Chains A and B, each alone.
Chain A
Amino acid sequence: MLQAIVSGLIVGSIYAIIAQGYYITYITTRTMNFGQGDFLMVGSLLGLTSLTTMMAAGINPLVALLITMIVISGLTAILGWGLERIAIRPLNNNFMSIAWILSTVAVSMMLRNIAMLIWGRNVIPFPSPFGNEVLRFAGVGITMHELFVAVCAILIMACLFIFLKKSMLGKALAAVAFNPDAASLMGINPRMMAILAFALSSVLAGIGGILVGPITNTAFYMGATLGLKAFAAAIIGGLDNPMGILIGGLLLGVIEQVIALGDSAYKDASAFLLILLVLIFMPQGLMGKKVKEKF
């Protein structure tokens, strides 16, 4: 049981990282990248290629991993910028326009098919640069890679929270989210903020891909379920609350793993059952803002 909880927390922290991407674009532009899962897949497959190429060239695995994370962050940031420019901005001029849902799904399908052409249809194992060694603490086994995921998740979350709450750029993002017109009167460029939000969101997906790769292995279709589960984490936690999303992600990860102890066939179903229950009883999510309409 304790083992399931620890594994759940590890997987859940990855859901939370990906889901923060939904939060950032949602608060800034009221739109989301429904292809977030496929951006993760791109990060994972590119990461795998970059890592194995560098390791084959004899570069130290840890150095190779660090370089890979930097390169993938850059590439996914460019991908995010492109997505905002092509699939969001041209369609987001009309009030209540929901065309961005289809356009982001379309981009994700393109990415999925391109990935299939490049990397093939089969599952590709993603060897962890930390090897397969299992550490034991109080009867709970944890791989070095899982430990690395936990450390990365804590670091990423801490940086993200500091960025959003303390930095001037984070305050500007929040200002655009609150009132784009008033923010532009302060000299803040709402379009730049939208680009920043999508770039940041894509980087989170890309890094999530590198982290999750050795746990799930990689394939061109891996993004669909992971993206959906991260979305579930965001909805469960409350789409406008980064702390809620973190808790939502961890909760989802733990519940999945605990249910899988009984029968792993119910693992995925449990995630979506949870989202149904939360939506029925707390439609704003566990920690989302309650909005009451005045009539």
Chain B
Amino acid sequence: MLSVNNLHVNYGMAQALRGVDLHVNEGEIVALIGRNGAGKTTLLKAITGLVKVKEGEITYLGQSLIGQPAHEIMKKGISHVPQGRQIFGDQTVEENLLLGAYTQIKKNPKQVQQQMEREYERFPRLKERRNQQAGTLSGGEQQMLALSRALMSNPQYLVLDEPSMGLSPLYVKLILDTVSQLRQEGKTILLVEQIAGAALSISDRAYVMSSGQVEMTGNSQDLLHDERVIRTYLGA
């Protein structure tokens, strides 16, 4: 479905990605784990067109994504929930959700309305706060909103960047349970997560990144029991 081959990304003189290879098959949850600065976020940004690729290839459903701007890549059915949520704080919850369906609201207003109802069912808290300014929500609520906003366009493919960052354990569980549920709804998910244990337990496969390269890859259950992973990322 999505494949990344020999990807290089530079920030000025600094090499953020150095020859990354990765693929995600339809219906999978694939986790990306690694320390801060390993290049996980950069890889996601390269896939969704937020950073310029220096070298390499990214293909989605057989089409190259290289050189395409973020707003075009999104229209192909790839939704990105960015790190730090990046909701539109000065607009209401409902306005944020509508902006998530910006490309479809004119074509299918009914469908957008139905999708919004589905999101309100998924997170009733958002419905309660539908007219509240998004910037005044708690961190957990903002993450729900970021996730729902990304789902408003009914994407096939979801790219999630640290959805549990800064959340209380209760919210972390809620968000990760939602990610698992999304797979059951037919979504394909590429997940970057700091809590490596949780990421490995809900994903099918995982890539371990370090210094802009893929260090290890394999079945998540195997990696969960790999001594090096346990020592370096699971803190045991």
Docked pose: A63 CA to B79 CA in angstroms: 50
Q: What band does the interface of chain B fall in when counting residues whose beta carbon is under 8 Å from A?
A: 20 to 34
Majority SS at the chain A contact face: helix
Q: Is the CB of B70 within 8 A of A181?
A: yes
* Interface members, chain B 51-70 (any A CB < 8 Å): 69-70
* Interface members, chain A 161-187 (any B CB < 8 Å): 168, 171-172, 174-175, 178-179, 181-187
Number of interface residues of A (CB under 8 A): 17
A188 with B82, Cβ < 8 A, contacts A174-B88, A179-B88, A181-B70 known: no
Q: Mark B54-98, 1 if CB is under 8 A from A, else 0.
A: 000000000000000111001100011010001111110001001
B105: chain A residues at CB < 8 Å are: 168
B212: chain A residues at CB < 8 Å are: none
Docked pose: A179 CA to B86 CA in angstroms: 7
Q: Is the CB of A185 within 8 A of B91?
A: no
A3 at the interface (CB under 8 A from B): no
Docked pose: A178 CA to B86 CA in angstroms: 9
B70: chain A residues at CB < 8 Å are: 181, 184-185
B25 at the interface (CB under 8 A from A): no
Among the listed A178, A181, A186, which residue makes an inter-chain contact with B100, where contact means beta carbons less than 8 Å apart? A186
Q: Is the CB of A181 within 8 A of B50?
A: yes
A187 with B88, Cβ < 8 A, contacts A168-B98, A168-B102, A171-B99 known: no
A189 at the interface (CB under 8 A from B): yes
A188: chain B residues at CB < 8 Å are: 71, 99, 102
B172 to chain A, nearest CB (A): 22
B88: chain A residues at CB < 8 Å are: 174-175, 178-179, 182-183
Q: Is the CB of B80 within 8 A of A185?
A: yes
Among the listed B48, B69, B98, B106, which residue makes an inter-chain contact with A189, where contact means beta carbons less than 8 Å apart? B69
B153 at the interface (CB under 8 A from A): yes
B89: chain A residues at CB < 8 Å are: 178
B103 at the interface (CB under 8 A from A): yes
Q: Is the CB of A187 within 8 A of B90?
A: no
Residue among B49, B86, B103 with the highest chain A CB neighbour number at 10 A? B86
B150: chain A residues at CB < 8 Å are: 185
Docked pose: A186 CA to B112 CA in angstroms: 14
Give 7 A-B contacts (CB < 8 Å), ordered by A residue.
Answer: A178-B88, A184-B74, A185-B71, A187-B71, A187-B74, A189-B71, A190-B71
Give the B-binding residues of A (Cβ under 8 A).
168, 171-172, 174-175, 178-179, 181-190
